[in-house]
Chain A
């Protein structure tokens, strides 16, 4: 397939692997965090770690939109969905996320009208078709998906739709990265920067990571060769004693981001003073809410929701996994009490969650498989 196969070429991967191995200093171990869950998914789905020397470890970061939603917000959304006059819409990945009283799927099976959509515009379509219902879109995601949510609100406004609203859970990536950099538990050598988020915010906001924290960052695309190349670029920076923000994904990411998209977000949304992240706790100015001017599209203002804080299950170590402190399999309940079919934590739900990616794609011993598949 054009525009895909080129970025999955095994020959180029082997060549890059050789160059990566050559850049690794003997006796030194490297730890890079891929911030974005999309990268985590790619790494496992293509078996990318087969190309990395043992001394280079990839650590999974907090950039999975579903993973960072706290249980209380799920309960709030389900409370809205359980109203007779409401159709709740959200992305597919969200449906299996457990709240304090079960998931959206459970609530749907019990009679709530909950529908999966591929785009917030689909939710708008449902609102047009069901004028007697109030259609709520549970919006999640980083800056990547916030513009489309904001555009949808603007369109609903232009059409004068009065039965559509959003339950806004958009979060911003920089405060999360900063929280990780400030965490005492983790020693990182650099970051593989999020590609899709950067199409919106550009590369400038990462400047402080190189400047103030002395960690290189390479914004990377989502094909396996993109990630392998960004690892190479990180190692090259370390080798050359440089510490910069580089853009490996220049075919998509403009250095200054997408001004129009940022304007649309700013028109409809504003920063919340603080927002709870699953496992990471409250982070100041880390999420977006609907501005007063668009209050009539804000489900939080329209519906009274419980709004209570639900503590994460005690056994769940999603927070440590999201911060990259624990590898998925090091969590106490990984794969036994917590599995993709009966998840305790969010990281086991989304295909971009580190635990789900490891469980679904990486749950095998590389040594043993190498042995077994030797021709």
Chain B
């Protein structure tokens, strides 16, 4: 029975200093080492997993894009790049939108395209100013639908205080795209002396979220109509620049990093922080705000709300001494009314996200593998 276990033991005995560890701990060390290796893309073709925001997406970004484009501005892989120009510091970002269905309760692809890029700028600590937009349209797409999308974009831009100042349109043959895809890029002014970074978290910091999570992802999944489940929820798509401004005004020194919890959800952000800062992020499941409708749908589908996308929620890591002021600042803005502290940064074990479950147990929260697939029984 123990042949393989012996093998594992021998393999790890080789590396010095491990004698005090149990056999299981030695295997865990070995796995941690394997995970720290440079990511390599093994697939011959792109699969849907590469777009799901989990491990495969990270591998694709690091092994293909970062490998080819590597430069100091890109390397931190933040939501946007911080550029220093003669005129001052700018934040620059881009995002593409391929949501299906195009229209869903609470918004449409147009709202997302504006808010997504506005929020990436806001997460850099910037004041969003100008956006570009690129449309890829499928032959046969109704002009009325396009007008509806564009009207949403105009309204969202006004709400966010940005202007769409340049654009591009391409039309592809029927069947070569799914109706309408949009890419936006954005520029914002970094007029605060902040240096937000996923690598800036320190042991003791508090992890905050600005409101209930998972509304957008569950809304869109249900809107696809494939599940025959209906629930009274709408997408949370919203610009977050007022929220970040309120927070950075209240505790300018205390904010380590800001992330909007889009694809991959809160779990993915916490993993990025844990790895980049070499800390442990310990989440308290009971403290994570989730609407009962989202919880219910997630239970039915076998999905963890921690991985479900939001389009109007942010995660902030703040110095523990600023926690109360930070929460008060978030709650002072309407969309931040449900802000809560969901966890703590600790020093050990570095690189891991741990969850204290509401049941009272402990588990880790890893990056998602593949699409968030439902369990079958």
Contacts and interface: CB of A to CB of B under 8 A. Distances in A.
Contact of B5 (A46, A141, A330, A350): A330
Interface stretch (A92-100, A151-159, A274-282, A298-306): A92-100
B4 A224 contact: no
B206 to A, nearest CB: 15
Given A44-B363, A110-B45, A8 B358 contact: yes
Given A92-B374, A109-B47, A360-B364, A47 B299 contact: no
B299 A368 contact: no
A124 B221 CA distance: 20
B359 interface: yes
B47 A320 contact: no
Nearest to A334: B27
B59 interface: yes
Contacts of A359: 366
Contact of A360 (B4, B349, B366): B366
B28 A141 contact: no
A365 B366 contact: no
Given A118-B227, A330-B5, A351-B375, A372 B361 contact: no
Interface stretch (B48-56, B66-74, B187-195): B48-56
Contacts of B356: 47, 373
A336 B375 contact: no
Interface in B320-376: 346-349, 352, 354-364, 366, 369-371, 373-376
Nearest to A340: B369
B360 A363 contact: no
Contacts of B142: none
A185 B1 contact: yes
B40 to A, nearest CB: 10
B263 interface: no
A22 interface: no
Given A8-B358, A50-B360, A341-B59, A351 B302 contact: yes
Contact of A47 (B7, B282, B362): B362
B354 A50 contact: no
Given A92-B376, A108-B47, A329 B361 contact: no
A87 to B, nearest CB: 15
Contact of A38 (B226, B366, B377): B377
A140 B377 CA distance: 10
A49 B359 CA distance: 11
Nearest to A45: B363
A108 B348 CA distance: 41
A266 B369 CA distance: 38
A360 B346 CA distance: 20
A206 B22 CA distance: 37
B226 A122 contact: yes
A225 B358 CA distance: 12
A96 B28 contact: no
Nearest to A333: B4
A96 B299 CA distance: 22
A48 B359 contact: yes
Contacts of A18: none
A369 B226 contact: no
B31 A363 contact: yes
A218 B34 CA distance: 39
A142 B295 CA distance: 27
A281 to B, nearest CB: 18
B227 A48 contact: no
A325 B1 contact: yes
B46 interface: yes
Interface in A117-160: 118, 122, 140-142, 144-145
Given A360-B364, A363-B364, A336 B359 contact: no
B211 to A, nearest CB: 18
Nearest to A317: B4
B140 interface: no
A254 interface: no
Contact of A336 (B34, B302, B374): B34
Given A66-B376, A336-B31, A46 B47 contact: no
A249 to B, nearest CB: 14
Nearest to B377: A144
A106 interface: yes
Contacts of A41: 375
B75 interface: no
A332 B8 contact: yes
Interface string B92-119: 0000000000000000000000000000
Contact of A106 (B45, B59, B359): B45
A308 interface: no
Contacts of B373: 92-93, 95, 116, 351
A342 B42 contact: yes
B370 A96 contact: yes
B173 interface: no
A170 B287 CA distance: 41
B167 interface: no
Nearest to A7: B359
A373 B347 CA distance: 10
Given A1-B295, A4-B299, A116-B373, A366 B30 contact: no
A370 to B, nearest CB: 8
A188 interface: no
A332 B7 contact: yes
CB-CB nearest 4 A-B residue pairs: A47-B361, A92-B373, A335-B31, A10-B360
Interface of B: 1-2, 4-5, 7-8, 22, 24-25, 27-28, 30-31, 34, 42-49, 55-56, 59, 226-227, 280, 282, 292, 295-296, 299, 302, 346-349, 352, 354-364, 366, 369-371, 373-377
9 contacts: A1-B292, A47-B360, A47-B363, A49-B361, A105-B49, A320-B4, A342-B42, A359-B366, A365-B28
Given A105-B370, A372-B346, 18 more contacts: A13-B360, A44-B363, A45-B357, A94-B376, A95-B370, A105-B47, A106-B47, A109-B47, A330-B2, A335-B30, A335-B34, A350-B376, A364-B349, A364-B354, A364-B364, A365-B24, A368-B348, A372-B347
